[in-house]
Amino acid sequence: MNDSMRRVAAVLLVILGGAALWWADSRAAASASANDAMVATIAAARERAAANDSRLKGASRFEQGGWIYVHLEGLPGAMGYQHGYLLAPEIEDAFAAVSAGMMHSTERDWEFFRRAAHEMLWPKIDTEYQQELQGIVEGLRARTGSKLDVDDIVAFNAFEELPDYYVPWLNKQQKTGQAPDLKSPGNCSAFVATGSWTKDGQIVMAHNNWTSYRNGERWRIVFDIAPKNGYRILMDGFPGVIASDDDFGINSDGLMVTETTITQFEGWDPNGKPEFVRARKALQYAGSIDEYTNIILDGNNGGYANDWLLGDRKTGEIAQLELGLRAHQLWKTKDGVLAGSNWARDPQVLKEDAPQFDPANKESSPNARRARWDELLKENKGKIDVALAEKMLGDHRDSAQHQEEANERTLCGHVDGSPRGVPEWEWRPYYPGGAVQGKVTDTTMAGEMRIMARMGHPCGGDFLAKPFLAAHPEYAWQEPYLRDMKAGPWTQFRSGQAQQE
Ligand SMILES: [Zn+2]
């Protein structure tokens, strides 16, 4: 008997044993509890069998500082299996929260997203990522007996692009009457600095992730990926998703990558390649700013359109790639700082891809944070290092009101405290969203494949779900998924880390 036959036989034996037990017990009118016991026995046998799968070799997981660190290695299918297996409980939980949000905002059912994944996205995904996504399904099913299939996982991987880019485009195409007003998201505050701007003259890169607290509280994975092909990757990420997606990552050829999204972006190309695939591929295969640009532009579908902030530790050069669908622009410098807070600046991109955005409105979240980045970075020119960058990510200066107040206009966003919300992103007053975690690295750290990361608001403040929901019943639909988001400490992670250290 080969390994897999032996495993099947072992599981069968347990099932038969369990069934016999169940049959005997049911005659004693204790069928309910016996049935529970049988289910538990079968689940344990399945988990034991899955844990012996040779594809798990080399993979590992531990938790630290509120983060879950996962090491994946090898062929694409094996890395997917490891991902699905090691994060199975988190994937099922995150899938429930994310899919509920996608259906709620778009008023489309899940079948609609599965179809979009199957017919539109899947055929454009590179074979290696198809294998990785398939592997996630297999690992997940082996561990928990999950019913999710590859269409579910692909739609879920596209959670930043299908609801807010594809659906509004489709509604417009189909002239859907009374369609919900969907706006592309505004995720994140970030900067990358180099030359005379930083303390040691090398690159410093920092990013905090802005999203709903419902999703953001689950954005707590540190992925250490050692693929058979391409560069080693260290990035933050979301359970079940193959790209960082918020995005923050470094690779072993010295590339440093982050981004902030373009507010009020409009456009979608159904024939393009999903953004989550292009972003993952670029981080895995790009060794320079130009290579990164070429990979992410190849098959650009307009999904999750970002201002990419890049650094190359080998040259000390940084760059901003403003990636619209109809237009894009690349700026590079070896002495400067490039900041992002969800605004486009290239006239062509503004005109063709984000025509509704008003760069002159000082009161809006993107522009108020832009002004604050300008002020804060200039004040600290020549002093910027990792410790200072960590502090900047937790900044609460509202540049529109000229005062300290954590709200939608501060670099560390707390929109749940704002009676204004962020209308540009369709975030209503007191929307439970804002900065949900932060990461920082620099040239030295990137050379050693290290990052600093803090879970929760980068300022260290906690979000508590119960009092929030009591005060804001308009968000009651989120109640099953909205949890406390408590801040952890700034914590260091590095590639190849085997456990908490
Ligand atoms: Zn804060």
Rounded to 5 degrees, φ, ψ at 328 are: -155, 160
Q: Ligand 1 centroid vs 431 CA: distance in angstroms?
A: 15
Q: Ligand 1 centroid vs 436 CA: distance in angstroms?
A: 9
Q: Ligand 1 centroid vs 435 CA: distance in angstroms?
A: 7
The whole-number pLDDT of residue 29 equals: 53
The whole-number pLDDT of residue 37 equals: 85
* Rounded Cα gap, residues 200 and 279, in angstroms: 29
Spatial contact of 318 and 332, defined as CB atoms under 8 Å apart: yes
The whole-number pLDDT of residue 236 equals: 98
What residues contact residue 481 under an 8 Å CB cut-off, 6+ apart? 96, 97, 100, 101, 214
* Rounded Cα gap, residues 292 and 286, in angstroms: 5
Determine the Cα angle at 346 with ends 343 and 350, to 5°.
65
The whole-number pLDDT of residue 30 equals: 59
Spatial contact of 135 and 84, defined as CB atoms under 8 Å apart: yes
Q: Ligand 1 centroid vs 469 CA: distance in angstroms?
A: 20
* Rounded Cα gap, residues 118 and 88, in angstroms: 22
The whole-number pLDDT of residue 187 equals: 85
The whole-number pLDDT of residue 12 equals: 47
The whole-number pLDDT of residue 22 equals: 47
The whole-number pLDDT of residue 331 equals: 98
DSSP letters, 341-409, are SS----HHHHHHH-TT--TT-TTSHHHHHHHHHHHHHHHTTTTB-HHHHHHHHT--EETTTTEE--STT
Spatial contact of 55 and 46, defined as CB atoms under 8 Å apart: no
* Rounded Cα gap, residues 426 and 152, in angstroms: 26
Q: Ligand 1 centroid vs 462 CA: distance in angstroms?
A: 9
Q: Ligand 1 centroid vs 413 CA: distance in angstroms?
A: 6
Q: Ligand 1 centroid vs 460 CA: distance in angstroms?
A: 7
The whole-number pLDDT of residue 48 equals: 83
Q: Ligand 1 centroid vs 354 CA: distance in angstroms?
A: 28
Q: Ligand 1 centroid vs 271 CA: distance in angstroms?
A: 40
The whole-number pLDDT of residue 31 equals: 66
The whole-number pLDDT of residue 14 equals: 47
Mean pLDDT by 10 residues, the chain (501 residues): 50 48 50 78 81 92 98 98 98 98 96 98 98 98 96 98 97 87 89 98 98 98 98 98 98 98 97 98 98 98 98 98 98 98 97 97 98 98 98 98 97 98 96 98 98 98 98 97 98 92 70
- Judged by DSSP in three states, 67 sits in strand
Q: Ligand 1 centroid vs 24 CA: distance in angstroms?
A: 60
Stated pTM of the model: 0.92
Phi-psi region of 130 (alpha: psi -120 to 50; beta: other; left: phi over 0): alpha
**Paired strand residues for 177:** none
Q: Ligand 1 centroid vs 456 CA: distance in angstroms?
A: 9
The whole-number pLDDT of residue 56 equals: 95
